[in-house]
């Protein structure tokens, strides 16, 4: 068996959130091989303290082609870092994080990966042993979630099919974007090769030229359209993570309500970093949840994960 590795692309502005993620992984996640933090080279000193026997901090440049280089820090827009090249228009850190997920899955020495964004916090035990190779892994698919009223997601549906050479479906269409996402290395390598076959470009260059893409949409539609790899995945309609995607920030009372709404299968929650919710409020909500359960003579018992494979 080959243990699952964890992947987290992150950067300096998410340092506080990433701290919570790492603490919660160390407390609750078991049966994984290594947790990789993938960070811009300029942020390596900020994250060096996370290095441990089971966690490695790796520079983004390790996974990017030499022709794609970061612009100086002074050249930023809305505090966002950009990468430039002579082959494509500049791409943002958001694009680069997607590239890092793909290349790290292709090149790191494990066959299965669990991708965790830095705004995820675990509050229940999560055992990854059932997802070791060659066991089946979950593929999140939410049918008919993408509609004409979601212009960005509908563009990602179109570009995914164009890059992969598949006929574009009509809307509504499936969405594959969520939290706690599993990828298989052989599948990811085949997806990248398919993009190169269709576009006749290196897959990184093809994605940088496209710009409007989603790595999770690409992976999901590739698996669903290639029977060689679909058998290694089990379709699920949700992930075990309570999510908040909206813009207004939450206070601790809001977070307490969010956590109380978690069902027995949830192991984590995510408050999108762009919401501006204070890290201390998230930490306090987790501590409050733990305190309440302890006072009732209960523990944060492992979740029931029957739906995940």
pLDDT score, position 74:
58
Structural domain of 165: 136-174+193-238
> What DSSP state is assigned to residue 209?
H
Whether 228 is in a domain gets the answer yes
User: Where does the chain have alpha helices with state H?
Assistant: 15-28, 44-47, 93-107, 151-164, 185-199, 203-210, 215-225, 227-230, 252-260, 279-295
20 in a domain, yes or no?
Answer: no
Query: Do 41 and 61 form a contact (C-beta atoms < 8 A)?
Result: yes
Within-domain flag for 158: yes
pLDDT digits (tens, 9 = 90+) for 132-186: 999 999 999 999 999 999 999 999 999 999 999 999 889 999 999 999 999 999 9
Residue 215 falls inside a structural domain: yes
CA distance 309 to 297: 31
Residue 296 CB neighbour total at 10 angstroms: 8
Q: Is 104 a member of any domain?
A: no
**What is the pLDDT, as a whole number, of residue 254?**
87
pLDDT digits (tens, 9 = 90+) for 34-92: 999 999 999 999 999 999 999 999 999 999 999 999 998 756 666 678 999 999 999 99
Q: How far is CA 207 from CA 5, 66, 93, 292, in A?
A: 25, 16, 14, 47
- Within a domain: residue 198? yes
What pLDDT shows up at residue 208? 97
Any domain includes 154: yes
Position 85 scores a pLDDT of 95
Tally the domains of the chain: 1
236: closest CA among 131, 126, 162, 79?
A: 131
Whether the per-residue pLDDT at 298 is higher than 60: the answer is no
Q: What is the pLDDT of residue 1?
A: 61
| pLDDT tens digit sequence for 85-103 | 999 999 999 999 999 999 9
In a domain, 216, yes or no: yes
């Amino acid at each position: 068996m080959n243990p699952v590795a964890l992947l987290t692309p992150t950067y300096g502005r998410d340092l506080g959130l990433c701290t919570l993620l790492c603490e919660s992984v160390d407390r609750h996640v078991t049966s994984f091989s290594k947790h990789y933090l993938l960070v811009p080279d300029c942020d390596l000193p900020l994250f060096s303290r996370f290095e441990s026997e089971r966690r490695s901090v790796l520079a983004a440049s390790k996974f990017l082609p030499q022709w794609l280089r970061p612009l100086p820090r002074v050249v930023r827009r809305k505090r966002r870092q950009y990468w430039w090249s002579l082959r494509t228009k500049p791409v943002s850190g958001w694009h680069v994080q997607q590239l890092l997920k793909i290349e790290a899955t292709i090149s790191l020495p494990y066959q299965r990966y669990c991708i965790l964004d830095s705004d995820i916090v675990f509050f229940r035990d999560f055992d990854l042993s059932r997802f070791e190779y060659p066991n089946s892994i979950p593929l999140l698919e939410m049918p008919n979630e993408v509609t004409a009223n979601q212009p960005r997601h509908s563009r990602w549906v179109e570009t995914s099919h164009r890059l992969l050479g598949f006929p574009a479906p009509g809307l509504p269409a499936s969405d594959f974007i969520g939290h706690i996402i599993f990828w298989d290395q052989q599948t990811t390598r085949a997806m990248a090769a398919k993009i190169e076959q269709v576009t006749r470009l290196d897959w990184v260059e093809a994605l940088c030229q496209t710009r409007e893409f989603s790595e999770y949409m690409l992976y999901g539609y590739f698996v669903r359209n290639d029977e060689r790899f679909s058998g290694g995945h089990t379709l699920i309609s949700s992930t075990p993570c309570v999510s908040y995607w909206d813009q207004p920030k939450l206070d601790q009372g809001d977070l307490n309500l969010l956590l109380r709404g978690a069902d027995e299968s949830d192991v984590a929650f995510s408050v999108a970093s762009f919401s501006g919710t204070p890290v201390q409020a998230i930490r306090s909500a987790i501590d409050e949840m733990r305190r309440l359960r302890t006072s009732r003579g209960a523990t944060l018992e492992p979740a029931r994960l029957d739906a995940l494979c």
